[in-house]
Amino acid sequence: MPTDIIYLCLSHPRNSQDLRLVYIYFETYFVILGFEKPSAIQQRGIVPFTKGLDVILQAQSGTGKTSTFCLGILQQLHYNVVECQVLVLTPTCELA
Ligand SMILES: Nc1ncnc2c1ncn2[C@@H]1O[C@H](COP(=O)(O)OP(=O)(O)OP(=O)(O)O)[C@@H](O)[C@H]1O
């Protein structure tokens, strides 16, 4: 796991069990996606999402904003619940 993710998690601790799960999720997602390390916006944005906080992110195109909120959402989902749990609104046709 990249050291900056470990630093990020340790700088926003909840409890040891949650941190262990966060490590596993990050490691799994990044391996699946083929990412070697989180982008700057991902370093700042993913953990607040996993805590269920309201998050506003602003960064240039292609810097990883979509992956940031997708990874955050994936950690919030209850996979045994078969109903809509997420609504993503996009402001333009280009992003839809
Ligand atoms: N940590 C990362 N390492 C390598 N590639 C990444 C990483 N995060 C995202 N990417 C890739 O970079 C590209 C852009 O990511 P993403 O769509 O999340 O950016 P964005 O900021 O939402 O872009 P836009 O503003 O254009 O919608 C995608 O192909 C994505 O797979």
| Atom number in ligand 1 closest to CA 39 | 1
Asked if the interface predicted TM-score (ipTM) of this complex is over 0.95, the answer is: no
Task: State the Cα–Cα distance between residues 61 and 82, nearest whole angstrom.
Answer: 33
pTM of the model: 0.71
Condensed to tens digits (0 to 9), the pLDDT of residues 30-88 reads 777 778 778 888 888 887 887 778 888 899 988 988 888 887 777 777 878 888 888 88
End-to-end CA distance of the chain: 32
Closest atom, ligand 1, to C-alpha of 30: 1
- Ligand 1 neighbours (beta carbon < 6 A): 35, 38-39, 42, 59, 61-67, 95
